[in-house]
Amino acid sequence: MRGRGRFGPLAIAAALAVAPVGCAAPGGELTHPASATAVPRPGCGVEPVVLRARFETGFPLAAALTEEFTRQHPNVTWDVREEQYAVLTRNAPRLLADNPPDLVRLPQVSDLAGDGLLRDLDGYAASFGWDDWPAAQLRPMRVGPGGRPRGVGPLYAMGFSTSVTGVFYNKDLAARIGLREPATLAEFDDALARAKDAGITPLAGFNSGATAGLVFPLQSLMAAYGSPSAIDDWTFQQPGATIDTATNAEAVRHLQRWLRAGYFDADLNATDYARMVDRFTSGRALFMLDGDWESAALDRRMPGRVGFFLMPPVRAGEPRAAMSGPPTFGIPAGAAHADCAAFFLDWAVTDRVARETTVRVAGSLPLGPVDAPLPAVEPGSVTAATLAAASRVVADGTGMDFMANATGAVLAESWTPRLQELAEGGSGPEELLRGVQADYADQIGR
């Protein structure tokens, strides 16, 4: 009796707990929506429509475009919720499965497309003529069957603009060392050395927490030594692609030389992105490897005092590569107003005012056909420099996706700890690349 008295309540509570769980395996069945065929004249109609959207906090372009869209199409109003990018990324699968809005800012879309949570946009691409644009612009948003490889297959996302990465420099500090924009990597190295000798921190960098910023300079160096398309093959999970190559090892060694020469501040592993930008804008470093998403802000904070060039090649005259993945937006498979959302995405890159808005607010090159009008910008501004650089990368076809996007985990779980070790002088180039390749193989094999 006593035993029953003691364990009775627990047993009942346990039974209550387990009963609803049952023995069914977790998760649902995959639904694969049939591949879209051309949608005849998708639009928003004339009836009132409320488009539900989830955007990223601190990315004012999306909000600015929605306002302009409503001005031009008053029957469409917006229910926008903004969230931190990391929060959006973490909740994306559940959001798309349980409560799909009409338009969502998304991280790389392989897994979501593989899970059947996103709408195949090929039908819209055919109707709107997106297929006629330079193929490289939309390549990162194409996803093969089951989520891999990327870069081929149906289109699962769209963007407003293409970003470009390269080297920003402080014109005041540049004048102190007599900097001319370098034509080769060797000339860039020389500029770094002269800055160091002049007592200026050559490179502002960040490498703390779960996001190793060294992945930016490293990928730029890899593309200079090798080819951007080889890096894309790896990022897009093409069968047989490897990061562990001789040219990539050369790039890691180059980065290691920069680290050993003290070109970054000593507390690189304790510096986050915001602090890096702060150091650059407060004139405490000559160069910063970053993307054109900072252009508009740099023009505001340091008007006329910032320059930009693409990472120089190893040999003079070779084309210059850059990371240029567009911030991506997807339409959930369960979206209520998919046609209207797609119409908005097309409008955002073809309407004259929308394109001007993209340049003014984000400082980046709008996606779209090659002959689309390029909005005017202030000459001498860094926005003008990054726009010219972005156009050049599109024309040369030397854009590549961020290799941190290769898998959902490869940045936080592999590049970050290994590049932090490299910054501390711990691991060697071959060891680093072998390790990342092993982690990558493990992650895509799961």
Residues of this chain that interact with another protein (CB under 8 A) are 9, 12-14, 16-18, 20-21, 25-30, 89-91, 93-94, 97, 111, 114-115, 117, 207-210, 265-271, 408-409, 412-413, 416-418, 420-421, 423-424, 426, 443, 446
> 195 vs 422, which CB is nearer to another protein?
422
> 207 vs 381, which CB is nearer to another protein?
207
> 356 vs 421, which CB is nearer to another protein?
421
Cα dihedral: 237, 238, 241, 242 (round 10)? -10
Shortest distance, position 45 Cβ to another protein, whole Å: 32
Shortest distance, position 156 Cβ to another protein, whole Å: 16
> 79 vs 424, which CB is nearer to another protein?
424
Helix (H) or strand (E) holding 255: helix 246-260
Cα–Cα dist 32/253, whole Å: 45
Task: Write the burial class of residue 428 (CB in 10 Å: 0-12 exposed, 13-18 middle, 19+ buried).
Answer: middle
Helix (H) or strand (E) holding 188: helix 185-197
Please name the residues in contact with 139: beta carbons below 8 A apart, sequence gap of 6 or more: 151, 232, 401
Cα–Cα dist 36/56, whole Å: 27
Instruction: Count CA atoms closer than 13 A to 183's CA, side-chain side.
Output: 4
Shortest distance, position 407 Cβ to another protein, whole Å: 8
Shortest distance, position 422 Cβ to another protein, whole Å: 9
Cα–Cα dist 93/327, whole Å: 18
Q: What is the phi/psi pair of residue 236, to 5°? A: -85, 5
> 128 vs 264, which CB is nearer to another protein?
264
Shortest distance, position 320 Cβ to another protein, whole Å: 31
Shortest distance, position 204 Cβ to another protein, whole Å: 14
Chain centre to alpha carbon of residue 439: 21
> 9 vs 379, which CB is nearer to another protein?
9
Shortest distance, position 391 Cβ to another protein, whole Å: 34
> 197 vs 424, which CB is nearer to another protein?
424
